[in-house]
Amino acid sequence: MSEKLQKILDTQGWVLADGATGTNLFNMGLEAGEAPEMWNEWHPDRIKALYKGAVDAGSDLFLTNSFGGNASRLKLHGAEKRARELSRISAEIAREVADTAGRDVVVAGSMGPTGDIMLPVGTLSHADAVEIFEEQAHGLMEGGADVLWVETVSAPEEYAAAAEAIGNVGAPWCGTMSFDTAGRTMMGLTSTGMVEMVEGLAHKPMAFGANCGVGASDLLRTMLGMAEANPTQPLIAKGNAGIPKYVDGHIHYDGTPELMAKYAVLARDSGASIIGGCCGTMPEHLAAMRHALETIKVGQKPDLTTISDQMGAFSSVSDGTGDAPAPERVRRRRRT
Amino acid sequence: MSDQEDDIILSELSDEELVPQIHDDLYDGLKEEIEESVNILLGRGWMPYDVLTKALVEGMRIVGIDFRDGILFVPEVLLAANAMKGGMAILKPLLAETGAPRLGNMVIGTVKGDIHDIGKNLVTMMMEGAGFEVKDLGINNPVENYLDELENGDYDILGMSALLTTTMPYMKVVIDTMVEKGMRDDYTVLVGGAPLNEEFGKAIGADAYCRDAAVAVETAKEFMAKKHNQMNA
């Protein structure tokens, strides 16, 4: 169970997580529009190859192919009744890969967002969200996941619903959000806001942090913001391998293995201890990240200038944290 | 402190005070207040089209600017759009009766092969919030879905969305088919989605790439204004 994750953290001081799922699966022939989770059943060999790619490159932890394996997302493929089953299979294949790795490797059961916006601004109720997450959590744990791994969430309400669902199942978990809008999540949550929100949860994650979002620079700024708020849990950094560019009819992520190696070291210096990639991060990136984390000593916490010098410019001037007053529109009179 | 002031009685405000108050109430997402104010202006003899454009659309324009600038985020914008729709529901039958110029009709959908819809849903809500009529085709749309809907309805704008780098090229298939059928110039084609950029929009022959939902609304309004000007010329 989760002792394995704790053990690696304690002995190594950091954990190398995995990279991209989607980018790798598209390279293996996943057709756009297909639900990747169906491949757990149709092409278990390819899912196994996906997992092995991360493990062989040196990942201590990898995510199951179940990101969209909740009833709300699977409904788009007419498979909403199969959330538990498809999630279970994704974890079963992962268990087999981890158990034959010859070293401690953690299976993290991936749980992506529902894709719906929650009440009162949207349509999804808290109770329904909890039910949806709980079903998937059951499936992943039945399949042998060591921990559950909530990722790419934008709304604090949805993160809380996932926490409650996982609490009902009684499983350990980690959970990251995506900070892609002027340094905040799409719903406006800041990095320090997330630390506060996590502190208030009844069933707290073992570790939390950020994944995906814009580029590596923004993600590192998010890490600095979280570390500044003195979280009691380890921080997770899973950034994209650069930014996608459309070149001659196909897409290419501009992050090289060398750049991702630098990012991994900076992420650790910024306070993250579980470090991986997200979209565009392939096994060669992971291997370079592992090598860098093993050979380079922990350094000083970087400042924002160091980050932008090494990783590129930020997507926005401010990320909504710190002393700078938030811009506000002056109105005649506020009423509520 | 504003809390200590007396409650605002909307019906006691002059037109000059009520219109900015409507902008503020939209900003705060106060649906009931918007509905009340719309009825007050109509009761004072305002043309429905003026209520729509000077009070509601202008208020949503301010919301759009602050969304673009990272001052407001999705939850606030959705509440504002919802308040706007409350006012719109009152105005809609009256606008039709008075023969007011329409703001624009749009077909929107995520392209074939792509199952992502949050961004597209946001654009739909913001466009409706700005007074547009929007037909949402959902996700995973082959070219026929778009063309059938365009041909069977009375539309001005086609919006296409893609989140995947593997699906965004399909937008070009749709536009090329429109060209083949000689219907491309009848519509304004707007495209959006995280991996796209302006260059890509130009390369595939779209009229514009829209970075986010607020930009989509402003761009749609610009194209509709051009269209009205041409018709009146």
Which of A115, A327, A336 has its CB closest to that of B71? A327
Question: Quick one: tokens of A123?
Answer: 């349509």
Residue A330 lies in a domain: no
Residue A195 lies in a domain: yes
CB pairs under 8 A between A and B: 100
Q: How far is B232 from chain A (nearest CA, A)?
A: 37
Interchain contact, B28 vs A187, CB within 8 Å: no
| Domain with A93 in it | 3-311
When pLDDT is cut at 50, 70 and 90, the band that residue B190 belongs to is: very high
- Residue A208 Cα distances to A10, A194, B116, B142, angstroms: 17, 9, 25, 39
DSSP code per residue over B137-175 = --SSB-HHHHHHHHHHS--SEEEEE--STTTTTHHHHHH
Chain B CB contacts of A32 under 8 Å are 112-114, 164, 166-167
| CB contact residues (below 8 A), chain A span 43-102, against chain B | 68, 73, 76-77
CB B107 within 8 A of CB B158: yes
* Per-residue pLDDT tens over the stretch A64-75: 999 999 999 998
Does the pLDDT value for residue A331 go beyond 80? Answer: no
Interchain contact, A329 vs B166, CB within 8 Å: no
Does the pLDDT value for residue A1 go beyond 70? Answer: no
Nearest to A176 by CA among A314, A284, A276: A276
Amino acid type, B130: A
Give the number of other Cβ atoms within 10 Å of residue A249's Cβ.
8
Which of B2, B79, B117 has its CB closest to that of A334? B2
User: What's residue B191's pLDDT?
Assistant: 97
Residue A126 lies in a domain: yes
* Nearest-by-CA chain A residue for B7: A335
Please, which residues have CB within 8 angstroms of residue B197's CB and are 6 or more apart in sequence?
A246, B209
Residue A326 lies in a domain: no
Amino acid type, A151: E
Chain A CB contacts of B60 under 8 Å are none
**A39/B154 Cα distance (integer angstroms):** 41
Which of B75, B140, B164 has its CB closest to that of A187? B75
CB A26 within 8 A of CB A283: no
Kindly report which listed range (A168-182, A203-217, A298-312, A320-334) carries the lowest average pLDDT score. Answer: A320-334
**B46/B14 Cα distance (integer angstroms):** 13
Q: How far is A48 from chain B (nearest CA, A)?
A: 23
Query: pLDDT averaged over chain B?
Result: 90
Cis peptide before A120 (omega within 30 of 0): yes
How many helices (H) does chain B have, and how many strands (E)?
10, 5
Please, which residues have CB within 8 angstroms of residue A22's CB and are 6 or more apart in sequence?
A30, A36, A279, B164
Query: pLDDT averaged over chain A?
Result: 92
Does the pLDDT value for residue A334 go beyond 60? Answer: no
When pLDDT is cut at 50, 70 and 90, the band that residue B161 belongs to is: very high
- Average pLDDT of span A228-239: 96
Which of A249, A326, A334 has its CB closest to that of B169? A249
Largest CA distance in chain B: 65
pTM: 0.86
- Average pLDDT of span A21-49: 89
Which of B7, B24, B73 has its CB closest to that of A188? B73
Question: Quick one: tokens of B112?
Answer: 């074939």
Helix B143-152 crosses helix B170-180 at what angle (to 10 degrees)? 40
Question: Quick one: tokens of B136?
Answer: 């949402």
User: What's residue B4's pLDDT?
Assistant: 46
Q: What percent of chain B has pLDDT over 90?
A: 62
Interchain contact, B73 vs A184, CB within 8 Å: yes
Q: How far is B186 from chain A (nearest CA, A)?
A: 27
Q: How far is A294 from chain B (nearest CA, A)?
A: 33
Which of A35, A76, A121 has its CB closest to that of B75? A121
Largest CA distance in chain A: 67
- Average pLDDT of span A161-188: 95
**A15/A212 Cα distance (integer angstroms):** 18
How many helices (H) does chain A have, and how many strands (E)?
13, 10
Half-sphere exposure at residue A325, Cβ-oriented, CA atoms within 13 angstroms: 3
Interchain contact, A117 vs B78, CB within 8 Å: yes
Report the DSSP pairing between strands A244-247 and A250-253.
antiparallel
* Per-residue pLDDT tens over the stretch A129-142: 999 999 999 999 99
Helix A257-269 crosses helix A304-311 at what angle (to 10 degrees)? 170
User: What's residue B212's pLDDT?
Assistant: 85
Which of B8, B33, B165 has its CB closest to that of A251? B165
Residue A329 lies in a domain: no
**B187/B156 Cα distance (integer angstroms):** 5
Work out how many domains chain A is built from and give that number.
Answer: 1
Residue A324 lies in a domain: no
Alpha carbon A232 to its chain centroid, in Å, reads 19
Interface test with A, best of B28, B36, B166, B170 (most A CBs within 10 A): B166
Does the pLDDT value for residue B1 go beyond 70? Answer: no
Torsion of CA A185, A191, A192, A193, to 10 degrees: 20
- Average pLDDT of span B115-137: 86
> Where are the strands (E) in chain A, listed by range?
15-16, 61-63, 106-111, 147-153, 173-177, 207-212, 235-239, 244-247, 250-253, 272-277
Q: How far is A8 from chain B (nearest CA, A)?
A: 35
Interchain contact, B69 vs A332, CB within 8 Å: no
3-state helix, strand, coil in chain A (%, to 5): 45, 15, 40
Give the number of other Cβ atoms within 10 Å of residue A325's Cβ.
6
Chain B CB contacts of A246 under 8 Å are 165, 168, 195-197, 199-200
**B190/B159 Cα distance (integer angstroms):** 5
Scanning B51-169, the segments in alpha helix (DSSP H) are: 58-68, 74-97, 118-129, 143-152
Alpha carbon A74 to its chain centroid, in Å, reads 20
- Average pLDDT of span A293-309: 96
Nearest to B141 by CA among B184, B174, B188, B180: B174
| CB contact residues (below 8 A), chain A span 272-331, against chain B | 316, 320, 326-329, 331
Question: Quick one: tokens of B133?
Answer: 């009529």
User: What's residue A104's pLDDT?
Assistant: 97
**A157/A61 Cα distance (integer angstroms):** 27
Please, which residues have CB within 8 angstroms of residue B212's CB and are 6 or more apart in sequence?
B67, B68, B122, B192
Residue A318 lies in a domain: no
CB A217 within 8 A of CB A180: no
B179 or A1: which leads in pLDDT: B179
A285 or B198: which leads in pLDDT: A285
Does the pLDDT value for residue B2 go beyond 50? Answer: no
Q: What percent of chain A has pLDDT over 70?
A: 93
Give the number of other Cβ atoms within 10 Å of residue A2's Cβ.
17
Chain B CB contacts of A186 under 8 Å are 73-74, 118
Nearest to A251 by CA among B94, B107, B115, B165: B165
CB A133 within 8 A of CB A161: yes
Which of B8, B70, B167 has its CB closest to that of A335? B8
When pLDDT is cut at 50, 70 and 90, the band that residue A245 belongs to is: low
Kindly report which listed range (A121-130, A317-326, B117-126) carries the lowest average pLDDT score. Answer: A317-326
Residue A302 lies in a domain: yes
When pLDDT is cut at 50, 70 and 90, the band that residue B3 belongs to is: very low
* Per-residue pLDDT tens over the stretch B10-57: 999 999 999 999 999 999 999 999 999 999 999 999 999 999 999 999
β-bridge partners, B149: none
Amino acid type, B38: V
Chain B CB contacts of A121 under 8 Å are 74-75, 78-79, 82
When pLDDT is cut at 50, 70 and 90, the band that residue A332 belongs to is: low
Does the pLDDT value for residue B229 go beyond 80? Answer: yes
**A247/A250 Cα distance (integer angstroms):** 5
* Per-residue pLDDT tens over the stretch B65-103: 898 888 899 899 889 988 998 999 999 899 888 888 888
CATH of the domain at A42: 3.20.20.330
